[in-house]
Amino acid sequence: MIRPHVTLIMAMTVDGKIAKSSGHFTDWTSKEDKQFFLAKTKDIGVVIMGKNTYNTFKRALPNRLNVVLSRQGGNSVSGQLEFSSASPRELLENLAKRGYERVALIGGAAVNGAFLRAGLIDEILLTIEPRTFGEGLNLFSGIDVDISLSLISIKKLNKDVFCLHYKIIQ
């Protein structure tokens, strides 16, 4: 299958949580993480997210195609916002046919899990924020896997925050 390169981009607490709940907005991340996220997703050009993640943003992210995985659908805006009930594989095949070579997967945990389960994530950019939530959402949900990663780089975003760049070993 020809498909776009998939980069999972997430922020995480040091205790491994991406949010307190499915409706928790990412206002807890550093300004450097937000700047990194904006620059990277604009460069990639396509973001894929679940409906809960989209609802936390309350609008499409500008200057990139937003694809929201949802069984309920929604109001699409040509070139900016699309809703899809396709499987991760079908979605990527459709994007490839339309000429997209790269996509950013931006959550949430169930969507991340569905793409990982299907073997469709190529790399992970993970910002580690100096916070703990105790309870909350893991990076992936709905899967039981054992996947190896290879560290590509570590980038310090500020004195307390860094970004890990991993390649998934298939």
Question: Which pLDDT tens digit goes with each residue over 59-104?
Answer: 899 999 999 999 887 778 888 999 999 999 999 999 999 999 999 9
pLDDT at site 170? 72
What the block records as the tokens of 105 is 């997967």
Rounded to two decimals, the pTM is 0.94
Residues 97-125 have a mean pLDDT of 96
Q: In which band, very low, low, confident or very high, does the pLDDT at 45 lie, cut at 50, 70 and 90?
A: very high
Domains within the chain, CATH numbers bracketed: 5-169 (3.40.430.10)
Q: In which band, very low, low, confident or very high, does the pLDDT at 48 lie, cut at 50, 70 and 90?
A: very high
Averaged pLDDT score across all residues of the chain: 94
Lowest mean pLDDT among 53-62, 99-108, 156-165: 53-62
Q: What are phi and psi of 36, to 5 degrees?
A: -60, -50
What the block records as the tokens of 59 is 């609008």
Nearest alpha-carbon partner for 52 in 34, 26, 28, 77: 26
Residues 9-21 have a mean pLDDT of 94
Residue 18 CB neighbours (<10 A): 23
pLDDT at site 129? 97
What is the Cα Rg of the chain in Å? 15
Nearest alpha-carbon partner for 157 in 38, 31, 43: 31
Residues 128-156 have a mean pLDDT of 94
